[in-house]
Amino acid sequence: MYLRETKEGEKLYWVDIPRVKGKMAECGYNITTFAQEIGVSRNTMSSYLANPKTIPYDKLATMAELLCDSKHEAAQIFFASDLR
């Protein structure tokens, strides 16, 4: 799990990368096809998975929409705690 922090130190979200990778496989995506679906290059997707604190929130939301069957599941994988 990874936290993303703002310059002010606020924790915005955590990402459970092993579960993201598992959901990608479950949904039939590989890194290239998933990158295309969210509108980034394969290298960028690889970077996101290696360093999730760099994932922009709009891409994170798209990832959740593509991979998760419910809001509850999305919250478990992509938990947003404070997005001020």
Q: What is the per-residue pLDDT across 32-81, written as a single tens digit (0 to 9) for each?
A: 999 999 999 999 999 999 988 888 888 988 999 999 999 999 988 887 54
Distance, CA of 53 to CA of 33 (rounded, Å): 21
* Location of structure tokens 């929130």: 57
pLDDT at 10 over 60: no
Residues with Cβ within 8 Å of 30's Cβ and at least 6 positions away in sequence, in order, are 24
This prediction has a pTM of 0.77
Distance, CA of 76 to CA of 72 (rounded, Å): 6
